[in-house]
Copies of this chain bind each other. A is one copy, B any other.
């Protein structure tokens, strides 16, 4: 066996917010970090697009480069830390680095969830480590919990609030009665939402994370396109108020993966949960994930889901682990359990039409005789039972909201019923549907 390495060298791709956070964290907690690794940790090169761009963090002369080859072809670099984001050229860089037997730490949920098989397979072939705690839920060590802490369990379900931006927006709408637009602007001001917040709002960011978490948890590759995704943009402050006042429920954007028989449900959508639900306490930019296993029961992981400091914490914990393994000459030796893809108990992804849920339905109708009976007849014809109805007196002639909460029903039935109801002459707007949590 060769001598233990005394310096672990890192090549970094991307030097934005998170990259600078990692740099600062290493500077601040260097002695703690290096004593855990058992070796010096050195960021040797950082690849950026623009050498001259003003940055808050100043790095030594010559550390920055615009040429990936300066990292790829440097035999001293042990670990490539990818914080550039996006699909390409990131994917190519990661594959090339692994082929040169460099270990990988990445925070890139998009490239991982999209090119999972290719990336994992390449890591295996070349016996390199690949770690990505920061790709899901910022600083919360939930990837590790699923991979190691709960490794002995058949995971039954994951329920998570995994997008801080939408969680912040929904909370401002709930507690301060801000409109969706105002709340979004507040999130942008706070640096939580991007200038283009589309991927947060439409649920795709949550879907990327759910694809990674459920591929790991269920030992079954879950693709982003397997996941049913619905964003938060149709929900109004009035709906939120109504759900809270009449039913004691709050709206959260949930990422859900659940085993049902030999099928796996995977979906991202706004969900009504009781105010005393554990995840109801997950406020603002925080994330929270409930993971249930057949032996461990229900566990929960909570913390800041984004931001450069929590994300740097997760990145650095991966670097410490890989660095320690490099130091001890065992990196790439330990067969990472997330390479499994052969769960015999899960045969397929459940079709969205087949899922069952309770539903909160808000109909906007003209205030005239026979409306409720027409709606409830159609629901009944589609095997949907009504648990409660609320209609409040309004000024004559105006459109009025009628809210119906159903018992558990099949999604397909509900969608078909709504199609018919939306076509009725007295229905003024497309009916709003919010799924309800079944409860823990």
Contacts and interface: CB of A to CB of B under 8 A. Distances in A.
Interface in A48-71: none
Q: Which of A141, A310, A314 has the most C-beta atoms of chain B within 10 angstroms of its own C-beta?
A: A141
B342 A335 contact: no
Interface residues of A, number: 64
A314 B145 CA distance: 11
B340 A330 contact: no
Interface stretch (A253-261, A318-326, A389-397, A425-433): A318-326
A435 to B, nearest CB: 23
Interface in A317-373: 317, 319-321, 324-325, 327-330, 333-335, 337, 340, 342-344
Contacts of A281: 276, 278, 281
Interface in A125-145: 133, 139-141, 144-145
Copy count, this protein chain? 2
A197 interface: no
A144 to B, nearest CB: 5
Interface in A278-304: 278, 281, 288, 293-304
A36 interface: yes
B304 A151 contact: no
Given A144-B149, A154-B29, A300 B297 contact: no
Given A330-B328, A335-B328, A150 B313 contact: yes
Interface of A: 21, 25, 28-29, 31-33, 35-36, 38, 133, 139-141, 144-145, 148-154, 219, 276, 278, 281, 288, 293-304, 309-310, 312-314, 316-317, 319-321, 324-325, 327-330, 333-335, 337, 340, 342-344
The 3 closest A-B pairs by CB, nearest first: A141-B149, A152-B316, A299-B303
